[in-house]
Amino acid sequence: MLFTGWNVAIFCVLLLCDVAGSATGRQLPNSTIKPGSPIPVKTNDPGVQRAARFGVYRYNNSSNDIFLFKESHINKAMMQVVRGMKYRLDVDISRTVCSKRIHPNLDRCDFQKKKALIQTFRCYFEVWITPWLHQVQVPISLCQ
């Protein structure tokens, strides 16, 4: 079953986020989902899109490439409610025409069209968003 942003929040409140159940490891009756378990989320969900962009920012900040990369396709997304939202993403990122020196808005960056400069990586990002603390962490960013 796939969920979208508000559906996930409502689903979580109603079914998954039973604090007493989470503390004891108790599972809901007739349910195969354990509280705090990762669940699949639609790749076009706004929360998934934002999390993917944070992963790309982390990649761009750690790469030595002179061009910025941005997400070209989100292949799979999982979300887990753990003191915030933890996203596990399988994302393709591709080189853009935008230089790192200028730092433009990635939404305005087109993908490379010159054959010699086209490059795409498959990445796994874990993005942990804690909205009430205004914090985003990307503890895992693996690209190949």
Tell me the mean pLDDT in the region 120-138. 97
Q: Are 106 and 97 in contact (CB under 8 A)?
A: no
pLDDT of residue 34: 64
Cα 58 to Cα 21, 33, 51, 87, 142: the distances in Å are: 35, 31, 11, 14, 10
Going along the chain from its start, the domains and CATH numbers come out as 5-143 (3.10.450.10)
Question: What's the whole-model pTM score?
Answer: 0.76
- Report for 27-31, 101-105, 134-138: range of highest mean pLDDT: 134-138
Tell me what pLDDT residue 31 has: 52
Over the stretch 13-44, which tens digit does the pLDDT of each residue have? 333 333 333 333 444 455 555 668 899 999 99
The residue type at 17: C
By percentage, how much of the chain surpasses pLDDT 90? Answer: 69
- Taking only the tens place, the pLDDT of each residue in 77-98 is 999 998 899 999 999 999 999 9
